[in-house]
Structure 1
Amino acid sequence: MKIKSVVLLCLVGIFSFTIAAQQIKVSGIVFEDKNKNGVKDASEKGIKNILVSNGEEIVLTDKTGAYTINASVGSSVFPIKPSKYSVWRKSKPQIQNTAFLYIDTLLTEYDNLDFDIPLVPHFEQKTFRIGAIGDIQMKDYQEINYANQSIISELMQRPDIDFNIFMGDQINETLDILPSVTQMIESLPMPSWLLLGNHDRNVLGTNRQDDVFNRYFGASHYAFNYGNVHFIVLNNVASKGGRDYTGLISDEQLHFIKNDLTHVSKDKIVVVCQHIPMVYTRNRDAFLDLVKDYPSVLVLSGHTHQISRYILAPNVHELGVGASCGNWWVGERDWLGIPTALMQCGSPKNYFTIDFDKNNYKINYKGIGLSADKQMDIWIGGQDTVDTHIEALSQLDKNLVIANIYGGSDSTIVMMQIDGGNWIKMDKTSMVSPSVSRLIYMNNKGGYPTSFSRKGALRKRESPHIWTVSLPTKLSIGIHTIKIYAKDEYGFEVNGSRLFSKTNF
């Protein structure tokens, strides 16, 4: 019996490898779909010199818009959308990458395929705004409700966003809710692009853990243009078997990046999006070598459920965009019944918008349900009596000012002003956010979690965006105004203010 099982498994493995290696010829015409019906009518002409890819190789359409490319089972075929066009979909607005052709691993017949690609003329300015949406990570319909009442309802009210990029982990391994997730995102008033996170994978007995994702969303890596910006979307969640994974860009994708960039002029901003931060990607040096000649490269990532920024090279700036589910939809419920889910870095659940203007960009933190002006929290010693019970806070100098600037980085310069006086430079400090220290105490000794709430899994981990300075020693008794200003060279500039009281205590 054991010998038969081994032989059978070997045969299955050989069959699977043969299927995956089989080359399928995909042919079609890329055309301008003037009447937006998704069909090439007799009066509609093909578009020449459009890039079409199989996820590694890239071909150009001829003067009639025709192309032919070889692809294998489990791969995707897609256009690299040029500026001033959008990808046609029957539904509108839509998840853009659902228009791509996925050659499904479930197919049993592998004939050559016809795949026409309709593109719709679309006015694109060189000044535009995108939403970068980190980990919604819903596992059930309760968490779908949380998302619908928070991040989704907020995006419904953002006509200023031209399109979104969802940074992976749309779900928390519950593949059966993907139809609802698709419907949710397609209900937004702007187009969206999706990429794969480690919790979006099919981890049950498959060689292609992106297969279910691709059935719904077309491809797990691809590229497109918008305005004067070139976007590359990667899948850097490399399986180590089952649920285990590491951050790695496959050789196929490295070849794709190399081939793709031969068609991208050096005056363009290049934006690279993947789930696991590039700083934690094992072969990031190979990626950095491919983009070394581009003066402005922005890397966007999710995964860590905290906001982080890294300078990977003089020309490469990475923004870890945080998580729209915050700390995995846990913590005390607010007045709407939604978990506050404060993240480990002390930031509220969030997303980012990024404004592009020709060859420049500006990043903007946005706390979900909060004013756009809420860019930081400011803690001052001795202001809250609860802090006297918390060892991590009670031992701090009562004249200490702590600013948690949610979008700040090592390159950010932070200044403080008291009562309109001179500006004082603050020091970047490695410490746990006071808000996190307070919640850890409340979880352990202060009565959290309350009924119907779940305990937030917060640890005593340092936040990457804390600045400190001491108050002037000769402040008078009474109420004072503190203002904080932060700015860096990577398009980040914010202000914050609060009042505080100086007492005899």
Structure 2
Amino acid sequence: MKAFLALAVSWALAYSVQAQELAKGKVYLDVNKNGKLDKNERGIGAVAVSNGRDVVTTDKDGNYQLPVGSDNIIFVIKPSGYSMPLDENNHPKFYYIHKPNGSPASKYQAVAATGKVPAAINFALYQQAEDPNFSAFVFGDPQAYTEEELAFFKNGVINEISDKSIAKFGISLGDLVGDDLSLQPKYKSVISTMGLPWYNVMGNHDMNYDAKSDSLSDESFEHTFGPNNYAFNYGNTHFIVLDDIIYPNPRTGKGYLGGFRKDQLDFVENDLRNVAKDKLIVLAFHIPLYHENSDIFRNEDRQRLFDILAPFKHTLSLSAHTHFQRQYFYGQKDGWKQEKPHHEYNVGTTSGDWYSGELNEKGIPVSTMRDGTPKGYAILKIQGNQYSFDYKVVGKPAAYQIDLYSASVIPEKYTKRYPIYANFFIGKEGDKVRYRVNQGEWKDMDYVRENDPAFLNSLAKYDTANDLKTTRRPSNPEKSSHLWMVNLPKLKAGNYQIEVQAIDLFNRTHTATKTIDVR
């Protein structure tokens, strides 16, 4: 009897292996760039390919095979020294969607039935030189709710970038649109005018809200952009893009929760097995990992991610979502297992404060964020496995990194009652920020956690208006994490130049000046 049972189990196992569908194909060097595997084109070995969970590497001839089910996207993980074909919107063509029955019925556009897995799913690559020192654009939340707001994004951000060639590619950190998923292809067309390969993160406003499970909340995103969990290499840097929104919220059944499914973290773990420990690992997702409130991000998911990253000494996370700008540092008390903290840059947004506020000279909302950070974008700069970044305010010179707020005309009798505030956009608590008057002695300014007074002033124009304001009222303020202040010293009548100097976390010095008239 035991022998019969053992034989039955072995038959069942053999049958399950045979019945399992496999995606097979080749990663090859497309010499003539025609998108077809020609007889004279060779395969490329040791390239990673994934089904969204498992990760395999091609053999010496470029061949791979992966198991697939009823809802998989097969994609190649671009190796360093190669580029991928681009579609008409400069979107990398690195994936094949396998949904034999298509997406579930939805009011949103999604994936049509793809049928059986093809006999071969091949991926073309082109050779390209890649300097390990390079830059990339990082956009937080374009988040256009309407075509008018898409035009604000194009005319107010993209068209303002005069030299797009300074970067090799770009990343948008989610909330590409604002709930109207029919705008996703239009966003894709707009972002293509950057003229660069562009990678997109899924945000909570990019989801199918009629989905019954988290694994199906990305169907429209997948239709337009492909996988929402994937990776690629450039130079000596490995990028991992993740969807960190769980919908519906498993705790309440309503809304969403920050976190990761097990299969997503399995993908990260499997992916990083093929990555050298000395590489820089850059993660891009939408909702910050910050865990002051566990109702916002699931602690156990962040902990497993930190456990997976533990062997890697050079890491960085990029997030958006909040519509303010902040630097987070995770230490051992947060579950990070290295002596050097893990840095997460919560990037300011290209939509600013949701396209709110007064219009500028081009008819585009100023849209300063609620912590006083002006609308803008980041430029990630990588040197080997080290990084730095700049925050570029839209429509301002690159040197504009500090906003000074104070009265311009002050009575001599009361100068000590007047404060000057410095909003250092990429600053953080502990940075050294100083001021001096008429090139005198440098003195420290005080770090404060307050509402930015310039933002409060712009908000007051709406809240005390005597005439109808037809533009969108800015949001209520958020206490800034990068604000310093000091009261002016006693000054006699005359003109004074106030100079502020700030040193950032990369030991670079930034300055700003303001002239005041004491009478």
Q: TM-score range by the shorter chain?
A: 0.7 to 0.9
**Secondary structure in 1 aligned to 2:264?**
helix
Alignment size in residue pairs:
468
Task: State which of 393, 399, 412 in structure 1 corresponds to 2:431.
Answer: 412
Q: Tell me, yes or no, if structure 1 residue 101 matches structure 2 residue 96.
A: yes
Deviation per CA, 1:323-347, whole angstroms, max 9, x where unpaired? Answer: 1011111211112111111110111
Specify the alignment match of 2:420 in structure 1. Answer: 401
1:305 positional shift = 0.5
- TM value normalised by structure 2: 0.85
Task: State which of 390, 399, 402 in structure 2 corresponds to 1:364.
Answer: 390
Q: Tell me, yes or no, if structure 1 residue 309 matches structure 2 residue 327.
A: yes
Rounded Cα–Cα distance in structure 2 between residues aligned with 1:339 and 1:121: 42
1:205 positional shift = 3.8
Q: 1:99 is aligned with what amino acid?
A: F
Q: Tell me, yes or no, if structure 1 residue 121 matches structure 2 residue 135.
A: no
1:243 positional shift = 6.7
Q: Tell me, yes or no, if structure 1 residue 428 matches structure 2 residue 447.
A: yes
- 1:221/1:397 Cα in 2 relative to 1: closer, same or farther (>3 Å)? farther
Specify the alignment match of 1:89 in structure 2. Answer: 86
RMSD (Å) for aligned C-alpha atoms: 2.2
**Secondary structure in 1 aligned to 2:512?**
strand
Rounded Cα–Cα distance in structure 2 between residues aligned with 1:214 and 1:184: 18
**Secondary structure in 2 aligned to 1:187?**
helix
Rounded Cα–Cα distance in structure 1 between residues aligned with 2:341 and 2:262: 23
Deviation per CA, 1:52-77, whole angstroms, max 9, x where unpaired? Answer: 01111110101110100012333321
1:84 positional shift = 0.9
Rounded Cα–Cα distance in structure 2 between residues aligned with 1:354 and 1:247: 24
1:366 positional shift = 0.6
- 1:305/1:190 Cα in 2 relative to 1: closer, same or farther (>3 Å)? same
Specify the alignment match of 1:17 in structure 2. Answer: none
Rounded Cα–Cα distance in structure 2 between residues aligned with 1:445 and 1:252: 52
1:382 positional shift = 6.7
Q: Tell me, yes or no, if structure 1 residue 184 matches structure 2 residue 181.
A: no
Rounded Cα–Cα distance in structure 1 between residues aligned with 2:77 and 2:288: 24
Rounded Cα–Cα distance in structure 2 between residues aligned with 1:455 and 1:472: 36
Q: Tell me, yes or no, if structure 1 residue 484 matches structure 2 residue 476.
A: no
Rounded Cα–Cα distance in structure 1 between residues aligned with 2:86 and 2:156: 27
Contact 2:29–2:44 (CA under 8 A) maintained in structure 1: yes
Q: 1:94 is aligned with what amino acid?
A: N
Rounded Cα–Cα distance in structure 2 between residues aligned with 1:205 and 1:228: 38
Specify the alignment match of 2:294 in structure 1. Answer: none
Specify the alignment match of 2:117 in structure 1. Answer: 112
Structure 2, unaligned runs of 5 or more:
1-18, 104-111, 292-296, 332-339
Specify the alignment match of 1:210 in structure 2. Answer: 218
Rounded Cα–Cα distance in structure 1 between residues aligned with 2:266 and 2:76: 17
Structure 1, unaligned runs of 5 or more:
1-21, 386-394
Q: 1:330 is aligned with what amino acid?
A: S
Q: Tell me, yes or no, if structure 1 residue 48 matches structure 2 residue 48.
A: no
Specify the alignment match of 1:392 in structure 2. Answer: none
Specify the alignment match of 2:138 in structure 1. Answer: 132
Contact 1:378–1:403 (CA under 8 A) maintained in structure 2: yes
Contact 2:76–2:94 (CA under 8 A) maintained in structure 1: no
- 1:40/1:251 Cα in 2 relative to 1: closer, same or farther (>3 Å)? same
Percentage of pairs with the same residue: 30
Specify the alignment match of 2:366 in structure 1. Answer: 340
1:87 positional shift = 1.3
Q: How does 1:53-452 map to 2 (within 5 A)?
A: 53-91=50-88, 94-96=90-92, 98-104=93-99, 105-106=102-103, 108=113, 110-113=115-118, 114-155=120-161, 157-207=163-213, 208-240=216-248, 244-280=255-291, 281-282=297-298, 283-313=301-331, 314-381=340-407, 383=409, 398-447=417-466, 450=469, 452=470
- 1:326/1:449 Cα in 2 relative to 1: closer, same or farther (>3 Å)? farther
- TM value normalised by structure 1: 0.88
Specify the alignment match of 2:512 in structure 1. Answer: 496
**Secondary structure in 2 aligned to 1:244?**
coil
Rounded Cα–Cα distance in structure 2 between residues aligned with 1:396 and 1:140: 48
- 1:37/1:156 Cα in 2 relative to 1: closer, same or farther (>3 Å)? farther
More deviation, 70-79/370-379: 70-79
- 1:297/1:402 Cα in 2 relative to 1: closer, same or farther (>3 Å)? same
Contact 1:297–1:315 (CA under 8 A) maintained in structure 2: no
Q: 1:433 is aligned with what amino acid?
A: D
Q: 1:476 is aligned with what amino acid?
A: K
- 1:279/1:492 Cα in 2 relative to 1: closer, same or farther (>3 Å)? farther
Rounded Cα–Cα distance in structure 1 between residues aligned with 2:516 and 2:265: 53
Contact 2:408–2:517 (CA under 8 A) maintained in structure 1: no
More deviation, 53-62/404-413: 404-413
1:411 positional shift = 3.9
- 1:346/1:398 Cα in 2 relative to 1: closer, same or farther (>3 Å)? same
**Secondary structure in 1 aligned to 2:328?**
strand
